[in-house]
A = this chain, B = another copy of it.
């Protein structure tokens, strides 16, 4: 209230702050250890903390509630300013990574000295993490830099020769956000998922030893290209390689778009803005059409496919390394998928914190047994339905973290191996690396799809759990949802990714009969012993030991795969089971998440959790996650006879409902453990002090000063008063007009 101090709450005696303080006082958890658990190590936890502090304090990077008021143009301008600031942080990060901070300009050496090493992912690790952290605060900024470094940069890294990598990324400066700014021109108006059918053409002209890039028709227009509308100077273009009229399929090319000094479009390049989107309006997505744009042969990325010109303009040859050529075409997308799993953890933790704190602070309705009418109203979190609506999402966030760190690790190891093996031309080592890469494709696809969907539901359901106040722009759910859900579509549509990964899993299952045993941790449920036991009926689902909570998903998967394999055998088609296959991918992800969490928590050195209460609560979250989704998917669990109907009623649901009050008792500590400062949450109903109503009111007032003395006429005042004041019509005497 403008004229009443914050403490003067009367009447309904709301006490949000006291409630949150009480929770903190009563907590038996060790927040530091929990934080180490979700951040994976003391070093990581410290780094995360430092980076969060920097991005939320930096005067350019910080994001307040006015962020929710910006229109498209303002978002774009603010994002550009932030990109420029991030470039400065980047140089510092690289300087520090080389431990050559003093007396030496590392970037200069990287750009100018041929004997300086090519930058590795490890050298960029701090900046990558910085980007991941800032994406949690401002996702569109993360994307804009991510398109340049992660897509444009990784496309060159994955498909370019060592020389090309050094040239574009280091000498020309792309890796340091200097000299050139890149975009990733893969998707076309007519083709998204089906990359192999992209229609942009790159025709080789042997006389000039160059390629001519053309957009043959409207659907071949490059579309959705982040950064193209106003920022990018160069693009990695996916186009069909045509040599002597023969089509060699889709390859990648670096194509300059604009003069980096004047930003003038180069000859034959036509570009427009894609305009308004559901979210992330800070990204200048654009379309590009090419009209006979010429680039030198050397601009084709040629690690796995080369066009060789013998010099006399005669017979150019195309040389390809078939195994890796196809995989590498998609490898730029791998990085994005791996990052999206980490994003799911961070973005989810933000909204879980907001909704949990609101649920503890908000009261509504007196208890049923209150006859006096004077009892304080009940905190939302004390309603069993509300616990069911909020707490499983908290478990989801905890369960994403271990698998996200593990996937990131596997990604870096595998890509390093690929890079080394292919640089060394070590042919007989290609096979094991390509198997690892394929497994990584399955895992990252299934985890990307599953977790981006989980977080989309999380934001939506937690917004609803915050009632009307969840609909206010200032509490972040609206822009959060709008920004988030594109993750379910881009860099692999979730349904397509699920189908693709499930088909590969089904194939692995079928290969078991041929004696192909899976060694990877992700496919543990395909061990011959388990499969045999499940199919023979000697292994059945139970929920006794902690392992059981993971293993039920393995049993479920085996039974479903068996069912699907039979149908494919009969019908020679996966048509009738596509709906089941989407579930196979989802359940595979659940299994991986539970397994990674289990292994981590079981090991004191990995988990960093020695406190018994904290450990116990973390196991509660593990069980809650498993039970919540068994119950959600009880249709499948019963249909495939993993559990009987009675087990659902007497085992699964009672265990689930019994866990909720236990987790409820520590829900504030569990969210405090994410250590997200208010500035990162940017949602006043979720601020640390729990002073919901004052915080929220203050943000509203800050952005919308109350109506001053005197008429607060809106711009449209005249339209309304004219309407309200209009009088009666004088009735005509129609008789006067004759008949």
Contacts and interface: CB of A to CB of B under 8 A. Distances in A.
A472 B277 contact: yes
Contacts of A641: 645
Given A2-B270, A468-B489, A365 B194 contact: yes
A495 B578 contact: no
Contact of A707 (B10, B271, B576): B271
Given A471-B486, A723-B87, A68 B365 contact: no
Q: What are the 5 tightest A-B residue pairs by CB atom distance, in nearest-first order?
A: A278-B478, A634-B635, A80-B716, A276-B473, A272-B706
Contacts of A22: none
A705 interface: yes
A485 B495 CA distance: 23
A371 to B, nearest CB: 14
Contacts of A634: 635-636, 638-639
A202 interface: no
A221 B717 CA distance: 25
A710 interface: yes
A736 to B, nearest CB: 10
A625 interface: no
Contacts of A83: 719-720, 723
Of the four ranges (under 10, 10 to 19, 20 to 34, 35 or more), the interface on chain A belongs to 35 or more
Interface in A273-326: 273-279, 284, 287, 289, 291
A513 interface: no
Nearest to A102: B734
Nearest to A652: B639
Contact of A725 (B261, B273, B477, B729): B261
19 contacts: A1-B217, A14-B219, A71-B71, A79-B716, A105-B729, A173-B724, A181-B720, A219-B693, A231-B714, A264-B710, A264-B711, A274-B704, A275-B474, A278-B481, A385-B495, A463-B485, A633-B635, A641-B645, A645-B645
Interface stretch (A183-191, A547-555, A596-604, A662-670): A183-191
Nearest to A247: B373
Q: What number of copies of this chain does the assembly contain? A: 2
Contacts of A104: 731
Contact of A217 (B10, B178, B485, B632): B10
Interface in A4-21: 4, 6, 8-12, 14
Given A275-B473, A275-B700, A635-B635, 13 more contacts: A8-B217, A10-B217, A12-B219, A69-B72, A83-B719, A178-B723, A179-B724, A181-B724, A191-B364, A219-B693, A263-B713, A272-B707, A384-B575
Given A274-B472, A385-B495, A697 B218 contact: yes
